[in-house]
Structure 1
Amino acid sequence: MTPTRNPTSWAVVLLPILFVLFLPNPQLGLSLSSSSASVGPLVQQQLDRILELPGQSFNISFAHYSGHVTVNEESGRALFYWFIEAEEDPDSKPLVLWLNGGPGCSSIAYGEAEEIGPFHIRPDGKTLYLNPYSWNKVANILFLDSPVGVGFSYSNNSSDLLDNGDKRTAEDSLEFLLKWFERFPQYKGREFYLTGESYAGHYVPQLSKAIVNYNKAKGEQVIDIKGYMVGNALTDDLHDHLGVFQFMWSAGLISDQTFRKLNILCDFQSFIHTSDSCDKVLDIASEELGDIDPYSIFTPPCPSNNSQSNQILKRIRAVGHVNEKYDPCTEKHSVQYFNHPEVQQALHVNKNFAPAKWDTCSELVNSNWKDSPRTVLDIYRELIHAGLRIWMFSGDTDTVIPVTSTRYSIDSLHLPTTKPWRAWYDDGQVGGWTQEYEGLTFVSVRGAGHEVPLHKPKLALSLIKAFLAGSSMPSLQLISDS
């Protein structure tokens, strides 16, 4: 059952009654956004309400919504979202946007279904279980499939899927947020934070900058952005490559000869557009790595995904690995679940534009990416100066964007240290290490791979709690002998 909420306006109470009397039943998965009818944003909010998910055998104490928001009327570009309110007292909690990267990977597939969301998928691909470390314990979480062509996001103009890039992704995501706040006016003025991982290391700071600039142009905090946090994030091509090669070599995964060639032939290369000579030595490195999961070198790969492991150094994309107990095949479960017609109906997917086969990542989007700057460190400098709270975290068993890459990027900013390097703790055990700088905090997460909340969900929950509170990561708590 969903608890009674204190409404922000009389309409929030009255409109659901009107829906029952005069509008299609939300249980049928109908959404007027997929028809030619025009409805008000508050009406659409209630049409987006999810009453129950297929495979859900448990009750929940929070509301959640999903649907499409049109970000470009001319071409019909529409982004798909899934919004999950906080487990308790959502009116007092901040709003957090989560983005996965790729480019071309779904935040629904990874962020919600495998990492920080409450609804995780069992190996049967049909039933769900509650994630005990969901981030909606501390915040209202908004998941966005961006850009068009990713997940259930679509365009009326098929050529849009061949014309994605960093610039348009930031523009469309900003337009999404502005329209989403119209649909959910009770969240206007709420403290807003952005989070994400991998290629979202580009998306998150770029969208943060777009919001800051929009607020400046309007002369007010239209979106009350407070800060952002990114994990194992693509940040700067030079430092990212340097860190990847050094991490693989120091972990004993590649030969001395390959290490030297990587540093020579892939120097200053873009992760999105590499040269032929760089690709060849990356292939050699992949062979030397063997059949391991480069995203998490100490955990087993999914047997059917071994071929993907050999291509992973050429693509930055999120792959899932875990459920209640470690399961390296989580991505397969997501593909099965989100392809069920009844699941798509419950999520209010536009039937006219539903993909023939839903997948976790779009190779079409990834292979046709138009613009990807070699660095976003200039944005960091700008937003540090603007006073945003900025955190970077890193799972330390990832070879794709390893802890070494992130540390090289941070070092290049030449920020004064305010609190020196130290271990942080969770339940008396070292959870990782942290250092605080003027304008930025770095946190490593011990034993986590590329997707920190997937491999170390309890530690990730400690991370988001500290970030939202603006506090340091916890120190060792001395336990008395008594």
Structure 2
Amino acid sequence: MSTRIVIMTNYNFIPILAIICLLVAHASAGAAATTSFNEEEEADRIVALPGQPKVAFQQFSGYVTVNEVAGRALFYWLTEAVQQPFEKPLVVWLNGGPGCSSVAYGASEEIGPFRINKTSSGLYLNKFSWNKLANVLFLETPAGVGFSYSNRSSDLFDTGDRRTAKDSLQFLIRWLDRFPRYKNREIYLTGESYAGHYVPQLAREIVNYNTNTKHKLNLKGFMVGNAVTDNYYDNLGTVTYWWSHAMISDKTYQQLMSTCDFQRQKESNECESLYYYAMDQEFGNIDQYNIYAPPCNNSDGSSRATRHNMRLPHQPRHSIFRQLAGYDPCTEKYAEIYYNRQDVQKALHANVTGRIPYKWTACSETLNRNWNDTENSILPTYRELIEAGLRIWVFSGDVDSVVPVTATRYSLARLKLHTTIPWYPWYVKKQVGGWTEVYKGLTFATVRGAGHEVPMFKPRAAFQLFSSFLQGKPLPKS
């Protein structure tokens, strides 16, 4: 009897062993397949950045040439997912300006894995880095932004929306050739401010590209924050925000409303004078990117107003930075020190040939001043992309006066979308994170108490927003 049992036990054990062996072999083969990199990938691998804490995820950075004739090359920095990167989507982040660096802002003070310390000597970890949920690729576009460059200097004085979108598409196509393991991966585009143009325009380029090729890019959707959307409604919403938040007088509000033609790309001298009067005389010593934050004071106690025109709302910030509880806004200044270090550039494979004759800056004033084409409204593009079935989320920090929540709400209202889930408060850590409404084809959300760069001011809430977006689920009601 006992012998019989032993025989039966051994008999049943054989297929189990076989299955285990097959699983181990399969896992080993899969690991070998996923950890093999081609030479181009290896050349872009970041071993470690100066002063970087040890991390388990992999990083890559370098250049992709998008136009051989002009010698235009765009710089990228990929931070792979902390866990199971081969099962996670690819998320592309773009900063706006136009002319501002995704490395300086998105990577270094918003959603990247590292923050730069006060002495610019090293890095520390960001608790709410988005690469905990996805592989995040920071792209500096167009050429002339950050480490991206063109050998044709005239490109810096003749660029705009169209070239940016086309070059960014070329970048993605060629980058995926370099990183073939990402070719079938889900792709999401994200960004803020003037990336309210870049992101939908790039999405449109991808959708059009996919209709004419067998090798389609697996674009699933996009998300933009405090996004420049429509000239008229953005301008109207901005002036309304200033008045409704007691930043300007009734008299100035009425003068702006009666004098300015919000449809125009460039306002009249009379209108511009009213803007400058409001900013210089009525705003007072505030930070326009977060109206409830302490101002950026110079060493003598004075402050320099940050001015913007209504066509290009997110201009570079030039000032000594303030300290606000909960975050350190000096990271822009720290970034300009850190990324100009030769050892940092060498680790990033940036400016390796010395083709960039100027100092690395967080924003390019040259590009900003010479932006030669901009779409009056991105709303027709939204309609196209909703029709294409993309997942689209728009969010807005509600204490930003540069591209304020009123501007975004006015713009989105023109789409006249059907509401599927009415307005409700959403929560993070048992606190109201903001408010949201879900429409057919688009989700809108506010982030309570966040300024222009939402993930910098409210990192936990932004992380929840990103998580819900990736899952395609409404924001939590409790």
- Regarding TM over 0.5, the answer is yes
1:18 maps to: none
Partners of 2:47 and 2:64 lie apart in 1 by 20
Return the offset for 1:269. Answer: 4.2
Q: How does 1:301-316 map to 2 (within 5 A)?
A: 301-304=295-298, 309-313=305-309, 315-316=312-313
Return the offset for 1:222. Answer: 1.4
Residue by residue over 1:137-177, the C-alpha shift from the partner in whole angstroms, topping out at 9 and shown as x without a partner, is 10100100000110000011111111110000000000000
* Cα 1:338/1:167, change in 2 over 3 Å: same
SS at match of 2:368: helix
Q: How does 1:32-181 map to 2 (within 5 A)?
A: 42-56=38-52, 58-181=53-176
TM-score, structure 2 normalization: 0.89
Partners of 2:296 and 2:45 lie apart in 1 by 35
Matched, 1:261 2:255: yes
Aligned residues: 443
Return the offset for 1:233. Answer: 0.2
| Cα contact 2:184–2:217 (8 A) shared by 1 | yes
AA partner of residue 143 (structure 2): V
SS at match of 1:353: coil
| Cα contact 1:321–1:330 (8 A) shared by 2 | no
Partners of 1:48 and 1:322 lie apart in 2 by 36
2:445 maps to: 443
Identify which of 220, 234, 244 aligns with 1:226: 220
Which blocks of at least 5 consecutive residues in structure 2 are unaligned? 1-26
Residue by residue over 1:370-402, the C-alpha shift from the partner in whole angstroms, topping out at 9 and shown as x without a partner, is 100110100001110111111100000000111
1:369 maps to: 371
440-449 vs 43-52, greater mean Cα deviation:
43-52
AA partner of residue 359 (structure 1): T
Identify which of 314, 318, 341 aligns with 1:317: 314
Return the offset for 1:426. Answer: 0.7
Matched, 1:206 2:214: no
Partners of 2:186 and 2:96 lie apart in 1 by 24
Matched, 1:276 2:261: no
Partners of 1:396 and 1:342 lie apart in 2 by 39
1:299 maps to: 293
1:378 maps to: 380
Identify which of 401, 411, 414 aligns with 2:413: 411
| Cα contact 1:445–1:452 (8 A) shared by 2 | yes
SS at match of 1:447: coil
Q: How does 1:427-438 map to 2 (within 5 A)?
A: 427-438=429-440
Partners of 1:6 and 1:228 lie apart in 2 by 35
Partners of 1:307 and 1:204 lie apart in 2 by 33
Return the offset for 1:465. Answer: 0.3
1:252 maps to: 246
Return the offset for 1:441. Answer: 0.4
SS at match of 1:83: strand
| Cα contact 1:94–1:190 (8 A) shared by 2 | yes
| Cα contact 2:294–2:322 (8 A) shared by 1 | no
SS at match of 1:418: strand
Return the offset for 1:311. Answer: 1.4
Residue by residue over 1:245-266, the C-alpha shift from the partner in whole angstroms, topping out at 9 and shown as x without a partner, is 1111011010111111222333
Identify which of 235, 239, 253 aligns with 2:233: 239
Query: How big is the alpha-carbon RMSD for the aligned residues of Structure 1 and Structure 2?
Result: 2.1
AA partner of residue 432 (structure 1): G
1:422 maps to: 424
345-354 vs 64-73, greater mean Cα deviation:
345-354
Partners of 2:44 and 2:307 lie apart in 1 by 38
Residue by residue over 1:243-288, the C-alpha shift from the partner in whole angstroms, topping out at 9 and shown as x without a partner, is 1011110110101111112223333245x63332222111011121
* Cα 1:284/1:14, change in 2 over 3 Å: closer
AA partner of residue 364 (structure 1): T
Matched, 1:460 2:454: no
> Which of structures 1 and 2 has the bigger CA Rg?
2
Return the offset for 1:309. Answer: 3.1
1:356 maps to: 358
Partners of 2:278 and 2:141 lie apart in 1 by 31
Identify which of 365, 389, 392 aligns with 2:391: 389
TM-score, structure 1 normalization: 0.88
Moved over 4 A (4+): 5-15, 305-308, 318-324
AA partner of residue 330 (structure 1): T
2:343 maps to: 342
Return the offset for 1:323. Answer: 9.4
| Cα contact 2:327–2:456 (8 A) shared by 1 | no
